[in-house]
Amino acid sequence: HHDRHNYYHHHNPNYYHNGHGNHNHVDHNHRDFHSNYCDRHDDHDRDGHNHHHHHHGSCSSFGCGGNYVQGRACQCTDDCNRYGNCCSDYGNTCQKQGPPAPAPPQQQSGSCASFGCGNNYVSGRSCQCSDSCSKYGNCCSDYYATCQKRGPPPAPQPAQQPAQKPAPQPAPQPAPQPASGSSSYRLDWSAQGSSFFNDFNFLTEDTNHGSAHFLEKGQAMQEGVAQAHGSHAILRAGKADPVYKFKRYSAKIATSRSWGRFLAVMRFSHVPYGCGVWPAFFTLAPGSAWPAGGEVDVLEYVNDDMSKTSFHSGENCKLDAGAVNKYGNMPDRNNMNYECKTQYPKHLGCAPNKWMRSGQGWANSPGVLALERTDAYLKIFFLPEGNIPGDLLAGKPQPDSWDNSHLLSYYPFAASGCSPSVMAAQQIILSIGFCGDWASKVWGASGQCNNKVQGCRSVDPLAEYAPEQDCCTKFIWDNDGQHGTDGYLQNKAFFNISYLKVYTPVR
């Protein structure tokens, strides 16, 4: 994937001050990361729209039963999970309902209390944690496994709120007549629940010359870097490598299949961010020499930088400016005048984006990222939690009927005269990298990161090998714990994914 960065950085040291790393775009207005994962709900998107959640009545009207305990964060029953991640949707709605919390039992050694989480777990109920747990990471992942079988049995449900089955989903609205090149979709592939990683390959090569030690599947699962739970999967930064200097455990996963015309949907409640962190969610044409076959970056950023979508083409493809802006103003954030052909150091690929958001902003914006590739175009949507279309929730997506205010990027290949082969069949890749060609190099330009480590400098690993002097590497490796990096990354550097699904057209 990132071989493309290498040549470029090597030949153009100024790139990151005018391209990817446009630091005057960095948005410092995002509120500090809320210590309680369960309450982090940002109703104000960067574009100024309010996305309010429409909750009616008691929790039981959401099909969640009446088994909420007042004042306890983050609860939901398994039959809630189809509505998304309990930590976002139900934390707000249900926390003030239900009976008062029972007095915690005596702390015992080996109970959840030994994690500093109090003893207020009820066995058999998924997804619970107290506020003091939040500093250990995401309650829905870390403590689910540890605590679910401990604690008192569930209290009987209050009579006035009988549990009820989730209401059937309303039938999706009929979509308007599909535009040329689009169609209705059916589910072709899904990664969800405890089998989430079954159809992924774990890639072990770090092409970014950074500090990530990408683990093979067995070790990734064993180290907790990859976790598949009933309602969600976690991909997270692991511990400092006990064997290799300057490395930290992580993972990079790629689908074993690829798709030509498709709608790919990732529903998430958190994405990684933080100093030294280089996450990526992208698609790539396997078997082609990059950039032939095309690459789509959906999320990619380092440190406290902004993320933007972009497309890299091996052949000539200049998007028509009039066509690009059909659904709202989408400036080329790479300043390439919409030329997608990529050849470093001068040609960076095209990046029409309605808006941009920092990694922390994305981590605080749960919802769905969707990529639709038809014969005619590529569209990238962001559908905030609470605004996910009913047809998608029902598993019968009709993207032609979705509100275009949620369209983040539009790549009108056909209307621009680009060849249908400009984007070959794509596989989907998720990774959490550290430092390297990008994050190490621009460390000094980040106000949030620059003061984390003293007695070091920003090293470009393509120009020299000096990890022991590199600020980013010192912070990320932190083998003696003096920078508190383990706790910092536990809170920040993870994907929490409800599902990844690929739909294909019904012709």
Domain boundaries, the chain: 37-168, 175-437+491-506
Q: For 175-437+491-506, which CATH class?
A: mainly beta
d(CA 433, CA 249): 10
d(CA 359, CA 357): 7
Structure-model confidence comparison of residues 142 and 470, the more confident one: 470
Residue 270 reports pLDDT greater than 60: yes
Residue 93 reports pLDDT greater than 80: no
DSSP secondary structure letter of residue 205: -
- The per-residue pLDDT for 21 is 33
Percent pLDDT > 90 in the chain is 57
- The per-residue pLDDT for 97 is 54
- The per-residue pLDDT for 170 is 44
DSSP secondary structure letter of residue 393: H
Pairing of strands 407-411, 378-384: antiparallel
Helix (H) or strand (E) holding 448: helix 447-450
Residue 135 reports pLDDT greater than 60: no
Helix (H) or strand (E) holding 367: strand 367-373
Residue 250 reports pLDDT greater than 90: yes
pLDDT winner (highest mean) among 126-140, 419-433, 451-465 = 419-433
Task: Convert the pLDDT of each residue in 309-335 to its tens digit.
Answer: 999 999 999 999 999 999 999 999 999
pLDDT range class, residue 119, cuts 50, 70, 90: very low
- Averaged over 159-172, what is the pLDDT? 40
The closest alpha carbon to 276, from 420, 81, 483, belongs to: 483
- The per-residue pLDDT for 231 is 94
Query: Of 87-91, 126-130, 162-166, 327-331, where does mean pLDDT reach its minimum?
Result: 162-166
- The per-residue pLDDT for 213 is 97
- The per-residue pLDDT for 100 is 57
| Separation of first and last alpha carbons in the chain | 32
Residue with tokens 């009987």: 156
The closest alpha carbon to 369, from 358, 385, 380, 357, belongs to: 380
Residue 429 reports pLDDT greater than 80: yes
d(CA 274, CA 303): 5
pLDDT range class, residue 345, cuts 50, 70, 90: confident
Residue 307 reports pLDDT greater than 80: yes
- The per-residue pLDDT for 446 is 84
pTM for the predicted model, two decimal places: 0.66
Burial classification of residue 46, based on how many CB atoms lie within 10 Å of its CB (0-12 exposed, 13-18 middle, 19 or more buried): middle
The torsion of the CA quartet 356, 362, 367, 371, rounded to 10 degrees, works out to: 50
- The per-residue pLDDT for 24 is 32
Structure-model confidence comparison of residues 398 and 59, the more confident one: 398
- The per-residue pLDDT for 385 is 94
- The per-residue pLDDT for 7 is 36
Residue 45 reports pLDDT greater than 70: no
pLDDT range class, residue 59, cuts 50, 70, 90: very low
